[in-house]
Amino acid sequence: MKAEFIVGERKTLEGVIYEELRKRIISLFYKPAQMIFENVVAAEFEVSRTPVRQAFFRLSNDGLIQILPQRGARISMLSIVKINEAQFVRESLEISAFAKVAAIWNPNDDVFRKAGAEIRSIIEQQTASVAAGDYLRFTQQDEAYHTAIIRLSGNATLLAIVNEMRAHLNRVRYLELQEAHHEVQAIVFHRDILAAIETNDVSATTQKLSAHLKVLESFRQHMFEKHKDMFI
């Protein structure tokens, strides 16, 4: 698999490798505690070890791998404490951001009109992913949906923090999707939340978002018990 350098899309070798490895970790293709090695990844992508090392460093900062000097890198275990902490932070910040977007939404503004079209397109793509049984793609589109709305709040720092929290949640969410099969319900929530935002209904926006984010809280304990080998 030769990594491509695409200037137009600002994709560097490091970025391509990072995204691919991150996808493998989130989809549990790489299992918790599994070892991966710079030289093996470099050979696969037909690149030097330098961009691989940079990608490993980014994944380490995300908390997705642990770099072991002279030994390679270990895929991080899923931390129950970290998952619960990340969920709390994500809920707190996203509810505030979505409330702000609902308050400032202006259908006569080109920025909001384009954003609305983008978000509806993401929802339709999610529907297609459900039909195809593509849980990884659905997870990526779920992230894109929330990111598109948070971005409209104009708070880049908040978005960066939420994205960091998602790094700890996406693997368990992927696992939950495969077993809880709540994706259709999630799409309904996404449509309802957007409708509330577009009518400047702050109360309905926060209520529906809170309910959406809490759907799997009770199921998550079952996941922790069933997959003890993945969690610490």
pLDDT at 6: 41
Instruction: Tell me whether residue 207 is exposed, middle or buried, using C-beta atoms within 10 angstroms of its C-beta: 0 to 12, 13 to 18, 19 or more.
Output: middle
pLDDT at 28: 85
What is the distance between the alpha carbons of residues 57 and 62, in angstroms, rounded to a whole number? 9
Give the helix ranges, DSSP H, for 4-155: 13-26, 38-45, 49-61, 80-104, 110-132, 135-151
Using alpha carbons, select from 193, 213, 214, 212 the residue that is nearest to residue 204. 193
Region 80-226: CATH code: 1.20.120.530
CATH 1.20.120.530, the chain: domain bounds: 80-226
pLDDT at 218: 66
The reported pTM is 0.78
| pLDDT tens, position by position, 66-95 | 999 888 999 988 888 888 888 899 899 999
Residue for token digits 């709540």? Answer: 182
Query: Which residues, given as ranges, of the chain have pLDDT below 70?
Result: 1-10, 216, 218
Q: Is residue 54 classed as helix, strand or coil in its secondary structure?
A: helix
Instruction: Tell me whether residue 4 is exposed, middle or buried, using C-beta atoms within 10 angstroms of its C-beta: 0 to 12, 13 to 18, 19 or more.
Output: exposed
Cross-strand partners of 11: 6
Region 13-75: CATH code: 1.10.10.10
CATH 1.10.10.10, the chain: domain bounds: 13-75
Burial 140-157, CB ≥16 within 10 A → b, else e? bbbbbbbebbbbbbebee
